[in-house]
Chains A and B, each alone.
Chain A
Amino acid sequence: MTDTAIATADNAILAGARTGSAVAFEGVVKDYGQTRVLHGLDLTIQPGEFVSLLGPSGCGKTTALRVLAGLERANGGTVRIGGADVSAVPTNRRDLGMVFQAYSLFPHLDVTANTAFGLRMRKVAKREAAERVRDALALVGLEGYGDRYPHQLSGGQQQRVALARALVTEPRVLLLDEPLSALDAKVRVALRDEIRRIQLRLGITTVFVTHDQEEALAVSDRIAVMNAGRIDQIGTPEELYLRPATAHVAEFVGLSSVLSCTVSGGVAEVLGIRLPTVGERADGPAEAFVRPENVRLGGPIAAVVLESTFLGSVRRTVLRTEGGQLLRMQHSVSERVEFGERVTLGLEPAPVAVRSREG
């Protein structure tokens, strides 16, 4: 799709687009039988914001999205869209657009009819519906695919149609439930960037569920990292990466080396080097999460090279210290190290996340 075509399609949609609505979870509780999957979830999303719910399988992120969509009923708490309590409002009256992980196009309808489905439910006049469907398909780069059936499209194309179908009704909130996870890597990146481009152009409030931290970091205004039914931390991608509030966030967002340390008065002593900790931590033995870019060649730590990988713009090297701890270092490709080579290392004085260690 050319830039001109993109701009034309976007402008057509923008002409009728509304500003996104605010979303709020207030103490939302959800149980499945005896198991509590959401423990009083609190989250506020501003109008037009792109927020990702990030976490491992079973952390409750999809459940939270389904509660927001009305596909699951919460056992407690309130869900608000645009300030109004929608907890008891059925899904079809919440004015949402949703793209699912599974391909969810209606197999008996062609692309045009699939895209027009939401407009038909809203009894939009045929001529207006046809125009909006055409604009929506242009927006996702699928002009000329209107008479194809879902089984004639690739996975990426099907998810584009699903996106057009979700956007054509100009919903108050767009919900994305791992829409990229069934696609191959190249398509995933392309569609991910396109979703973000469209979201920025339309200004639609978007909630994106993913377990892929790279995906979340790349597209989100803010990310809520979830763990066992609770939000560990919510913040911008930079905040999460540079100042993780918990060890789980540090472990889940970005790459870290987990090193033994001793915490005392807000300072962690890691391999003999004193580093500030993120937040208040109890004194005593702990584990520190050190980012690979905060490890540099030259310094007081003696180590031996186990593995060095060329990644194009940088090189990533795994080393073992004399104490037997494993350390990852990211460094310039011009700094070549060989397998078995003995080197010395230093640590940048960046704050580190720490986790208390039993015993």
Chain B
Amino acid sequence: MNARGFAPHPAVRWAIGLVVIVLFAIPIVSMAEYTLRDATTGGHSLVHWFDLFDPAKAGTYRPIWTGLGNSLVLAVVTVAIVLLLLAPTMVLVELRFPKLKRPFEFLALLPISIPAIVLVVGLAPIYLVIGRTIGTGIWPLAFAYGVTVLPFAYRAIQAAIDATELRTLAEAARSLGAGWPAVLLQVFAPNLRTGLLAASLISVAVVLGEFTIASLLNRQNLQTALVVVGKQDPYASVILSLLALAFAFVLLVVIGRIGGGTPRARRTGRTARTAPAPTRPPKDQP
């Protein structure tokens, strides 16, 4: 039996798609409808959206902007950890210590099976020491986030590494006179671009949605701020939750788009793969 035999009828596919869309759309549409409710007129208006930017209510919403700023700082530091620490380590394991690949994968995927609240139990005493030594600023929280994003970032980068003959490319570049920095920046980075971007964007999405660790370690980020503000103005927290969802959606669309190939290949309409393994063409010619 061929694969086509298992394919559902187009009508069934549409029905499944519709159910999924409705399932996701109902809460989102409900949230949007809620933010438009106007208690004074009993109808719908954008008054709660405008309130966010009302100078008279700036004090109420200040924690949100502070939390948003903190979350963005955390996102940047977490992405830096992924790009500057995780990715080079993975390349090193791939090229120099292939026997460590399985243990490293196990370690990298482990955080996905540990609930955030359990992580915090272990992290709390560590952050007590961190607080005493380098202060209680927001950015050290990125170390914890570096752990929580590890499984997602690892999978994204490893998929790109698996699709690329790193060893051969490195040896070719070295034989042509490239030092290791040039190999990393001019050969590996462009060929792992899809994986690195996906890992970065997923990390940003995870960091912007994180609540438990920040709350239990008494740090303020976007999510904890939403909870604080939500107690005074539930409309504002729902509006910002919607915006956060929209941002995550845009990130996912961007991830999907960047898988399209090299800029030049895209301009000319070719379907180039970004990081094809050394390719075997369909037909050999001299």
- Please report A residues at the B interface, Cβ cutoff 8 Å: 69-71, 90-93, 95-98, 100, 102-108, 110, 117-118, 121-122, 149-158, 162, 165-166, 169, 175, 182-184, 186-187, 190-191
Contacts and interface: CB of A to CB of B under 8 A. Distances in A.
B175 A103 contact: no
A155 B272 contact: no
Contacts of A184: 284
Interface in B165-204: 165, 168-169, 171-179, 182, 187, 190-191, 193
B243 interface: no
Contacts of A91: 171, 174-175
B171 A100 contact: yes
Contacts of A155: 280-281, 284
Contacts of A166: 175-176
Contacts of A100: 168, 171-172
Contact of B165 (A69, A104, A122): A104
A150 to B, nearest CB: 6
Nearest to B165: A102
A92 B182 CA distance: 11
A108 B182 CA distance: 15
B276 A187 contact: no
B274 interface: yes
Contact of A104 (B168, B178, B264, B274): B168
Contact of B172 (A98, A169, A190): A98
Contacts, number: 117
Contact of B169 (A69, A106, A149, A186): A106
B191 A154 contact: no
Using C-beta atoms within 8 Å of the partner chain, give the interface range for chain B.
35 or more
Contacts of A118: 176-177
Q: For the complex, would chain B's binding face be called helix, strand, loop or mixed by DSSP majority?
A: loop
Given A98-B175, A169-B176, A110 B264 contact: yes
Contacts of A93: 177
B21 to A, nearest CB: 36
B264 A97 contact: no
15 contacts: A69-B175, A71-B171, A91-B174, A92-B177, A93-B177, A97-B175, A102-B168, A104-B278, A107-B275, A108-B275, A151-B279, A155-B284, A166-B176, A169-B176, A187-B286
B285 interface: yes
Contacts of B44: none
Contacts of B279: 103, 107, 150-151, 158
A121 B264 contact: no
A154 B283 contact: yes
A248 B174 CA distance: 35
A189 to B, nearest CB: 9
Contacts of A162: 172
B168 A186 contact: no
A175 B164 CA distance: 23
A188 to B, nearest CB: 9
Contacts of B274: 107-108
A186 B286 contact: yes
A96 B281 contact: no
A96 B284 contact: no
Contact of B278 (A70, A102, A186, A191): A102
B262 interface: yes
Interface in B265-282: 265, 270, 272-276, 278-281
A104 B169 contact: yes
A40 to B, nearest CB: 25
Contacts of B276: 107, 150-151
B191 A121 contact: no
